């Protein structure tokens, strides 16, 4: 008796393409003898298509809706299912045992779709509503990190409306308190979309206006000169952290191009660090996971300076999940293969569903 896994991918965020690539990898690696796989692809305008094929997009940049049926979710907590809009039959009557939302960014990784799964009554992989939303909002994330005693870099949060009303005053406030270089980020995004580094007032103003295109809340951080180290966390209530990995971006910082387009950035696994630093990072990673209330999986990103100071940058509750992504690579290096990792994530999804009931 196979477990019916529904992989949902795509979505409305700036990380749509990244999600499609992650989903293609996940589908390929789910053991065919153990799982029956169905898919839903969400278009950039938010329509849901059953039977969408992420591989098709990956290979030929084909429309993910090709040959797929538009569906709606039926909110029926005892027996949630999907229904074709045109009234035609779906495989398994549109039912599944568990959903794997392989989605990044707003409306995929931020608790909104998780809320829909909760309302409908579907078990699903990964963090719930709170963990997802705290893990997405860089401003609130920092607040809970601070409360948990985690070291964060100096930062400020401004609203788009404040920037628009008085751009020069915003620039002055930032240059007086944070200084240069600084990083300007939309509060709710990922894959470095909308992020810039600014070295002076002029670049800062441009960066603020640019980031404000993506979010109404903007986070400005002091730029640190440091190595970038990431750890994977796996589990529910007693989660464990992996060995650390290091990213060596070939560009000035790890931007969207360096992540996905030019393929030149190096992942060093394991990161070469003292045992003492590794243990400290692992403890911080688990603390961060618990602080936001994450479950299932997360990748926690850190900065380690030359004088061995650690800063936590962020947590990602649905990290990039291709075969060459840091999250699965770190577990692979600890002896847990990509496919076994998927088995464990699905098991954890069912476990959380039971715990929450
Ligand atoms: P992800 O794809 O990991 O979700 P993201 O969009 O959430 O990325 P961040 O990880 O916050 O963005 O930042 C992207 C990159 O920008 C970092 O990996 C790092 O290279 C650089 N960066 C961000 N903040 C800082 C900082 N305060 N100091 C130095 N570099 C930074
Ligand atoms: Mg992120
Ligand atoms: Mg992310
Ligand atoms: Mg990051």
Please tell me if the CB atom of residue 230 comes closer than 6 angstroms to any atom of ligand 1.
no
CA distances, 351 to each of 261, 323, 336 (Å): 37, 25, 19
Give, for ligand 1, the residue of 103, 109, 183 to mutate: max count of ligand atoms closer than 8 Å to Cβ. Answer: 183
For β-strands 35-42 and 48-50, DSSP reports them as antiparallel
- Catalogue all structural domains in the chain, each as residue range(s) with its CATH number: 3-124 (3.40.50.20), 135-151+225-356 (3.30.470.20), 155-222 (3.30.1490.20)
Which residue lies with its CA nearest to atom 7 of ligand 1? Answer: 190
Please tell me if the CB atom of residue 15 comes closer than 6 angstroms to any atom of ligand 1.
no
Give, for ligand 1, the residue of 198, 255, 301 to mutate: max count of ligand atoms closer than 8 Å to Cβ. Answer: 301
Q: 37 with 26: CB under 8 angstroms?
A: no
Residues 6+ apart with CB under 8 A from 300: 230, 231, 232, 233, 241, 284, 285, 288, 289, 312, 314, 315, 316
| Residues across the chain | 357
Q: What was the ipTM of the complex prediction? A: 0.98
| pLDDT at 16 (0 to 100) | 93
Residues 249, 251: Cα–Cα separation, whole Å: 5
| pLDDT at 70 (0 to 100) | 97
Residues 103, 334: Cα–Cα separation, whole Å: 25
Please tell me if the CB atom of residue 152 comes closer than 6 angstroms to any atom of ligand 1.
no
Which residues have a beta carbon within 5 Å of ligand 3, which is an ion?
A: 190, 316
Give, for ligand 1, the residue of 16, 141, 192, 266 to mutate: max count of ligand atoms closer than 8 Å to Cβ. Answer: 192
Residues 306, 183: Cα–Cα separation, whole Å: 19
Please tell me if the CB atom of residue 224 comes closer than 6 angstroms to any atom of ligand 1.
yes
Question: Each residue's pLDDT tens digit in the chain (357 positions)?
Answer: 899 999 999 999 999 999 999 999 999 999 999 999 999 999 999 999 999 999 887 777 778 888 899 999 999 878 899 999 999 999 999 999 999 999 999 999 999 999 999 999 999 999 999 999 999 999 999 999 999 999 999 999 999 999 999 999 999 999 999 999 999 999 999 999 999 999 999 999 999 999 999 999 999 999 999 999 999 999 999 999 999 999 998 888 999 888 888 777 899 999 999 999 999 999 999 999 999 999 999 999 999 999 999 999 999 999 999 988 999 999 999 999 999 999 999 999 999 999 998
Please tell me if the CB atom of residue 253 comes closer than 6 angstroms to any atom of ligand 1.
yes
Q: 211 with 160: CB under 8 angstroms?
A: no
Please tell me if the CB atom of residue 313 comes closer than 6 angstroms to any atom of ligand 1.
yes
Q: Which numbered ligand comes closest to the C-alpha of 259?
A: 1
| pLDDT at 63 (0 to 100) | 83
| pLDDT at 78 (0 to 100) | 83
| pLDDT at 263 (0 to 100) | 74
Residues 276, 120: Cα–Cα separation, whole Å: 45
Please tell me if the CB atom of residue 284 comes closer than 6 angstroms to any atom of ligand 1.
no
Half-sphere exposure of 33 (CA within 13 A, CB side): 1
| pLDDT at 67 (0 to 100) | 85
Residues 274, 294: Cα–Cα separation, whole Å: 27
Which residues have a beta carbon within 5 Å of ligand 4, which is an ion?
A: 301
| pLDDT at 49 (0 to 100) | 97
Residues 6+ apart with CB under 8 A from 14: 105, 189, 191, 193, 194, 214
Residues 6+ apart with CB under 8 A from 87: none
């Amino acid at each position: 008796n196979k477990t019916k896994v529904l992989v949902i991918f795509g979505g409305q965020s700036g990380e749509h393409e990244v999600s499609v690539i992650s989903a293609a990898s996940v589908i390929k690696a789910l053991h065919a003898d153990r799982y029956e796989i169905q898919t839903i692809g969400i278009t950039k305008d938010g329509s849901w298509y059953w039977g969408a094929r992420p591989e098709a997009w990956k290979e030929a940049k084909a429309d993910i809706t090709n040959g797929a049926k538009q569906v709606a979710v039926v909110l029926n907590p005892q027996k949630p299912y999907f229904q074709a809009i045109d009234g035609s039959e779906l495989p398994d009557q549109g039912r599944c045992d568990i959903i794997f939302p392989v989605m990044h960014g707003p409306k995929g990784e931020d608790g909104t779709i998780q809320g829909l799964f909760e309302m409908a009554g579907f078990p699903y992989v990964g963090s719930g509503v709170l963990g997802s939303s705290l893990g997405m909002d860089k401003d609130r994330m920092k607040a809970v990190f601070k409360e948990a005693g985690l070291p964060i870099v100096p930062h400020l949060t401004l609203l788009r409306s404040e920037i628009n009303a008085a751009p020069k005053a915003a620039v002055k406030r930032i240059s007086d308190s944070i200084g240069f270089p600084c990083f300007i980020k939309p509060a709710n995004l990922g894959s470095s979309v909308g992020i810039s580094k600014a070295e002076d007032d002029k670049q800062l103003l441009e960066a603020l206006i640019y980031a404000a295109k993506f979010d109404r809340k903007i986070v400005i951080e002091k730029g640190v000169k440091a190595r970038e180290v990431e750890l994977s966390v796996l589990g529910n209530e007693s989660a464990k952290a992996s060995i650390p990995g290091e990213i060596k971006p070939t560009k000035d910082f790890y931007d969207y191009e360096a992540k996905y387009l030019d393929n030149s950035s190096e992942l060093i696994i394991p990161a070469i660090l003292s045992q003492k630093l590794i243990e400290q990072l692992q403890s911080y990673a688990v603390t961060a996971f618990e602080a936001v209330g994450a479950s299932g999986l997360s990748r926690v990103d850190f900065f380690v300076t030359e004088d061995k100071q650690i800063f936590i940058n962020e947590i990602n509750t649905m990290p990039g999940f291709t075969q060459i992504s840091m999250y699965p690579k770190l577990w692979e290096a600890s002896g847990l293969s990509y496919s076994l990792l998927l088995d464990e994530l699905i098991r954890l999804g069912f476990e959380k569903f039971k715990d929450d009931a």
